[in-house]
Structure 1
Amino acid sequence: MSVYEEYKKKLVSADEAVKLVKDGDWVDYSQTCTFPKALDAALAKRKGEVKDVKIRSAISMQPIQVVEQDPEQESFTFNVWHCSGLDRKYVDQGKAFYTPMLFRYNGSYYTKGYAPVNVAMLTVAPMDKNGNFNFGLTNCCMQEIVDAADHIILEVNETMPIIYGLEGDHINIKDVDYVVENNDPVGTAPAGDPGEIDRQIANQIFPYLYDGITLQIGIGGMPNALGGLIAESDLKDLGMHTELISDGYLKLYQSGKLTNKKKPINTGKGVFSICNGSRELYDYMDHNFDIMSAPMSYVNNPGTIKALDHFVSINGCIKADLYGQVCSETVGTRHISGTGGQLDFATGALEAEHGQSFLAMPSSRVGKDGVRVSNIIPHFTGGDVITTPRTSVQYIATEYGCVNMQGVPTWERAERLISVAHPDFRDDLIKAAEEQKIWRASNKR
């Protein structure tokens, strides 16, 4: 039987394919752009017919029908490894649940049996002449998911770009149960314009950058602002090694700043594991030999990062306390995002001989009540989850400066952090530091 005959034999409707799901099953939707839109809608139709079906995904980019159509969780329970803005809304409403993880270990949860998969559903690019389907914009832990799955359903989508991978980048028709077709465009998350505070923070970090570094930058306004600064600068021969590629990198490629020529490993290749961006970014990545996907177990491994030598990691955070602890995933007990790869990259950057790790945030925020509060606080007590421990934090940046937390005692940490806090809160923070016995009489005020 040819691969095309096998494809035709396994091609069914989404409604037919989701009949594989039974009561009590764990269903995996993979992550980000590989979300199976048609299969999700078909499974949602089975509300009331099946019981206790648990779905697992991450960074949702479009409405999840098993959530939207079953808000009371009569049949389905939705779980996420990492929250997008949409996932955050679901968690806020009690319609979804977060699963703590480190991205570098995400695949191992499947291989070790901690995360069972009865049915895997994922979107892939169209089949090639050899019967292979490319995973496209999501490498992450796709191989571990399909290896763990009892059944596999592919949702074939011609709008999924083909991305060449180090490993774990495809699956063959012989290894799947069913194929469905759906050409609705894969999800996008175009970058918004950076705000003034984003640009000010980016300006604090920019002087630390130099020719030949390898960059990992997170997602959001500040990374996009920094990407714009770099694109307009004289910096050259930069490299990319990132868990998530977003539109900030597109500017760097288009301006000729990203060549990857100076990387000591994966030379000439920009490496990523998942993607979240605009259609323009997806089109740029399609069949692009300069870009390579790789599993999260490789990309986020501190050993890999250490080998990059001149490595710079830049990520956002929510709060820091005067001890240098950083929270990047909750506000009190309210869940916002997830641990993701922040600690992975902070660890790897510290191990690299010339590595630098930056955690960036606005110094303050204005709440819904119109009251300004500081994002640098005396100490964490209100249920905030510590994402990066103080021992792993290097630079903390706000619009007022960038300070190094490595190798300094508690009083100096407090002094440095207060120097980049919003001026309205500095006196109160000094008083708190005095009460907490982490302030010297000779400290700068």
Structure 2
Amino acid sequence: MEQTLPPSPDWAKLIKSGCRVFVTGNASVPYALVQHLIDHSDGFSDIEMVHMLALGDTRWARSEYRNLFKVNTFFIGGEEVRRAVDEGRADYTPCFLSEISGLFHDGTLALDAALVNVSPPDEFGYCSLGASVDITMSALRQAAVVVAQINPQVPRTAGHSYIHISEIDACIEASEPLIAVETPPMDKQVERIGQYVAMLVEDGATLQFGIGKIPSATLKYLCNHRDLGIHSEMITDSIIELIEAGAISNRKKTFHPGKIVTSFAIGSQRLYEFIDQNPHIEFYPSSYVNKPSNIAKNDNMIAINSALEVDLTGQVVADSLGYDFYSGIGGQVDFVSGASMSKGGKPIIAMLSTAKDESVSRIRPCLSEGAGVVTSRGNVHYVVTEYGIASLKGKSIRERALELIRVAHPRFRAQLLEEVRKNYWVPHYQEKHPTDIPELGAIQLKKLVIQDETFYMRPLNPADERRLQEFFYSHTKETLRLRYNYDPKQMSREKSCNLVSVDQSSDAALCIVRQEGSRITIHAVGRFYYYPQGNCCEVAFVTRETQQGKGMASRLLTQLIEIARKRKIDRMLAYVRADNKPMTAIFEQANFKRLHPAEPGDVELELKLEPME
């Protein structure tokens, strides 16, 4: 049935000077409709234009229209809008994305009109909001007047994305493509972040992510996962690759199972064609998608968001650079909160460790003057950089600082430690900053599957002080006697600190850990001490009793031998009690040879090393 379209806008009858007008944002701005208003704006002034992130030609924010329009944005983006905010011609209103619709509903930001970009009506008269349902649906439901651009290039999307033609007061017909945003190129640092984040994602998890290099890198490294789901305020081209790889099935979702749930899409023309009439992808208003209690209905919810800087207590700045507002709150807090409440959920902040060509650390002892906290230190579970994963949930200020220093750029670690020492956030005896083991490569974390259990091998570091202390007190007297050749009674925090504060460029200390959420348990430690006078090193191990016999010591030994060879060390020595036959066997299986004579009660072993390139 052919539908009768509303009349062309008679703007003088629809709005007046000083009114508040909502404009659909993201990739679906109704440019032709905005231009139509500009062309018929004689006699108008001070119209407040309210919107989210608006891509493309945000012409209403130009200085030439400063008397006609006043911009009020919930998210700063685009050259013209950013310039207008910087020059004081535009306002930025911080608000959680889930709560913006409430501002329209309760009259805090009462809307006189809504300008929307919709598809042509179907045979029943329904137009789709296409790629931008987000706060648009809420705005048109609350606005006194709805004016639409009927655009055949707007995709028809499933979910709660439809408005009947009878609800539109006026319209124009104009065909315009949605703004296409191509996936940005990735460099090595960004790819490393993606690899680390992917390690935190288990099969069957549900994901939220944003746009940019880091989310794209993360999704790239999830192609071998299975039964992933999507519940995200936005989707990008990366979901197409994951679906084609068989990684996304949505079968394990516990909220809207079988469906990708989102509120807007930003990407290439390929993405807009992919979502067109796709019943597997459902669009809902942000008030629904971003509602923390709805997010939490997804078990194993993984929220991946970014930051401009993080201080050493875990406070996250995401919308400002000092006093300069840069973007917006968006949905970060909604999804961090929702993932925190989810069974098995993980809120993750992922970012590069530096800015301005590595001249500035994004991990800071305190926030920049003027910077505002978007996500509080109590909400953050993980911070991921190209140098690793910092686990913050349940950690003290001391432990948080050491975790975050560990994932800072190596150039800034000593300085960061010195700054926090001034405030006694770490004790006086914490003198060494974390160091990496270059021979392990760019990714310092190696996943191990041992008897169907997942563990990780990585360098021991100062943030492990309490974990090593717990590890020590888990040992039986027999284990301590075999490892230390006597029965030590105490492992003080200071002594533990000394053992985990390793200069990994000369000595080497590795551990195998089990991570369950933010809880990290050490199950085995292996290390060697380097003696430059003989260009040799002495190696030793200890394994938690419950894990003995599973090959952890052998794995650590193999890795330490490789490190020693790459460092062109000549010999590796080991001293084992004569009655510790299992440990002696491990060394002999690695081609260590016994030396004679040894000390009474001890076995001395040696491995001659050939250098590795």
TM-score (normalizing by structure 1): 0.93
Amino acid in structure 1 at the alignment position of 2:404 = L
Residue 17 of structure 1 and its aligned partner are, at CA, apart by: 4.8
2:210 aligns with: 218
The 3 A distance-change label for structure 1 pair 90 and 255 is: farther
- The question of 1:257 aligning with 2:247 is answered yes
Q: Which residue in the other structure is 2:75 paired with?
A: 82
Contact 2:18–2:48 (Cα < 8 Å) also in 1: yes
Partner of 1:22: 16
Matched, 1:406 2:393: yes
Within 1, Cα distance between the matches of 2:117 and 2:215? 28
Identical counterparts, % of pairs = 29
> Alignment partner for residue 285 of structure 2, among 295, 308, 316?
295
Could you tell me which residue of structure 2 aligns to residue 181 of structure 1?
A: 173
CA distance in 2, matches of 1:425, 1:47: 55
- Secondary structure of 1:343's partner? helix
Report what 2:34 is aligned to. 40
Say if 2:73 and 2:92, in contact at 8 Å, map to a contact too. Answer: yes
Alignment of 1:293-332 (within 5 A): 293-332=283-322
Instruction: Return the offset for 1:381.
Output: 4.5
Given that 1:312 and 1:356 are in contact with CA atoms closer than 8 Å, whether structure 2 keeps it comes out as yes
Length, aligned pairs only: 431
Q: Is residue 304–residue 350 contact of structure 2 (8 Å, CA) maintained in 1?
A: yes
Instruction: Point out which structure has higher relative CO (alpha carbons under 8 A, 6+ apart).
Output: 1
How far, CA to CA, are the matches of 2:244 and 2:163 in structure 1? 31
The match for 1:4 is 3
Aligned residue type for 1:316: S
* CA deviation string 1:292-334 (max 9, x = no partner): 1111112111111111111111111110011110101111011
Between 27-36 and 423-432, the greater mean CA deviation after superposition: 27-36
CA contact (8 A) 1:61 1:189 kept: no
Code of the aligned partner of 1:343? V
Q: Which residue type is aligned with residue 318 of structure 1?
A: L
- 2:375 counterpart residue number: 388
Give, as a single letter, the amino acid of the residue that structure 2 aligns with 1:276.
Answer: I
Post-superposition shift, 1:361? 1.0
The Cα of 1:365 is off from its aligned counterpart by 1.4
Paired AA for residue 302 in structure 1:
P
Conserved? CA contact 1:29–1:35, under 8 Å: yes
1:152 Cα deviation after fit? 0.8
Q: 1:200 Cα shift?
A: 1.3
Kept in 2, the 8 Å contact 1:357–1:395? The answer is: yes
Relative distance call for 1:19 and 1:33 in structure 2 (3 A) is farther
Question: Is 1:227 equivalent to 2:198 in the alignment?
Answer: no
Whether contact under 8 Å (1:325, 1:390) holds in the other structure is yes
Amino acid at match of 2:216: N
Partner of 1:144: 138
Offset, 1:275: 1.2
Deviates more, 1:25-34 or 1:279-288: 25-34
Q: Alignment partner of 1:430: what SS?
A: helix
Give the residue type in structure 1 aligned to 2:294: T
1:20-62, Cα deviation, whole Å (9 max, x unpaired): 2311111110221332111111222355631111101111111
Letter in 1 for 2:77: S
Pair 1:194 & 2:186 matched: yes
1:57 and 2:51 are equivalent in the alignment: yes
Separation of aligned partners in 2, 1:17 and 1:185: 25
* 3-state SS of paired residue (1:382): coil
Distance 1:11 1:258 in 2: 44
| Code of the aligned partner of 1:160 | V
Kindly tell me: are residues 191 and 88 of structure 1, through their superposed partners in 2, closer, same or farther at Cα, counting changes over 3 Å? farther
Q: Following TM superposition, by how much is the alpha carbon of 1:415 offset from its aligned partner in structure 2, in angstroms?
A: 0.7
**What do residues 333-385 of structure 1 show as CA deviations (whole Å, max 9, x unaligned)?**
11111111111111111111100111011111126xxx701111111241001
Q: Is the 8 A contact 1:80 1:97 kept in 2?
A: yes
Say whether residues 1:365 and 2:355 are aligned partners: yes
For the pair 1:73 / 2:66, whether they are aligned, the reply is yes
How far 1:91 sits from its partner (Å)?
Answer: 2.3
The answer as to whether partners of 2:250 and 2:260 remain within 8 angstroms in 1 is yes
Counterpart position of 1:164: 158
Per the alignment, in what secondary structure is the counterpart of residue 158 of structure 2?
A: coil
CA distance in 1, matches of 2:181, 2:312: 34
Instruction: Describe the SS at the equivalent of 1:390.
Output: coil
1:96-107, aligned counterparts within 5 Å?
96-107=90-101
Match of 2:271 in 1: 281
C-alpha deviation, 1:108, in angstroms: 0.9
Structure 1 residues 108, 281: CA separation in 2 closer, same or farther (over 3 Å shift)?
same
Provide, for residues 62-87 of structure 1, a one-character-per-residue CA deviation record: whole Å limited to 9, x for no partner. Answer: 1122223x446112111211122433
Matches of 1:63 and 1:379, distance apart in 2: 37
CA deviation map 1:109-130 (0-9, x unaligned): 1111111111111000110111
Supply the distance in 2 between the matched residues of 1:58 and 1:306 (Cα, whole angstroms): 24
- The alpha carbon displacement at 1:276 in A equals 1.0
8 Å CA contact 1:305, 1:311 repeated in 2 = yes
Q: TM-score, normalised by structure 2?
A: 0.68
Which amino acid in 1 is paired with 2:369? G
Question: Is 2:98–2:331's contact at 8 Å kept on the other side of the alignment?
Answer: yes
RMSD of the TM alignment (CA)? 1.7
SS at match of 1:4: coil
CA distance in 1, matches of 2:47, 2:257: 44
Unmatched segments (≥5 aa) in structure 2: 434-613
| Paired amino acid for 1:126 | P
Q: Residues of 2 paired with 1:18 and 1:188: CA distance?
A: 33
Q: 1:429 aligns with which of 411, 416, 420?
A: 416
